[in-house]
């Protein structure tokens, strides 16, 4: 399973970035897809997830109303649109995929089978 992330960068507080995660059609259609992040010295935490078969989504409380996860079926790509960015959003962001067809613990990193290489997001004040 290959997950290829792109779109990270550096912005000021209040700025926006869009992350992309491209994968194969097999992975895209049969796995729960999620975005996670890890700041230095902190545990990896779930940010947003999407079940591409139904479009069902879930978000961490810390990003609700600011981040949006979406999908492009033709490109088998999942996106994370991040608006109103804050310095505390600074982290390495990872795309992940989980097999098994279940929804519970969808924001728990340890339940995911496959990971991308990560893309850095830095928000300065």
CA-to-CA separations, 38 to 29, 43, 56, 92, 116, in angstroms, rounded: 26, 6, 24, 5, 13
Q: Which of 91, 54, 96 is nearest to 71 (CA)?
A: 54
At 50 the pLDDT is 96
At 9 the pLDDT is 97
The one-digit pLDDT tens for each residue of the chain (125 residues) are 899 999 999 999 999 999 999 999 888 888 999 999 999 999 999 999 999 999 999 999 999 999 999 999 999 999 999 999 999 999 999 999 999 878 889 999 999 999 999 999 999 99
Residues 89 and 9: their CA atoms lie apart, in Å, by: 12
Give the pairing of strands 17-22 and 56-59: unpaired
At 100 the pLDDT is 80
At 29 the pLDDT is 87
Residues 77 and 69: their CA atoms lie apart, in Å, by: 11
CA-to-CA separations, 57 to 13, 20, 36, in angstroms, rounded: 25, 16, 14
At 103 the pLDDT is 86
Residues 35 and 89: their CA atoms lie apart, in Å, by: 13
At 14 the pLDDT is 98
At 40 the pLDDT is 93
């Amino acid at each position: 399973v290959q997950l290829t992330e792109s779109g990270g960068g550096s912005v000021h507080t209040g700025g926006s970035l869009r992350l992309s995660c491209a994968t194969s059609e097999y992975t895209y259609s049969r796995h729960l897809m999620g975005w996670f992040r890890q700041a230095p010295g902190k545990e990896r935490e779930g940010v947003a997830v999407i079940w591409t078969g139904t479009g069902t989504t879930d978000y961490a409380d810390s990003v609700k109303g600011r981040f949006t996860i979406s999908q492009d079926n033709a490109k088998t790509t999942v996106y994370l649109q991040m608006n109103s960015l804050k310095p505390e959003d600074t982290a390495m962001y990872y795309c992940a995929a989980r097999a098994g067809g279940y929804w519970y613990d969808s924001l728990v990193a340890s339940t995911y089978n496959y990971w991308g290489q990560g893309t850095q997001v830095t928000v300065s004040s």
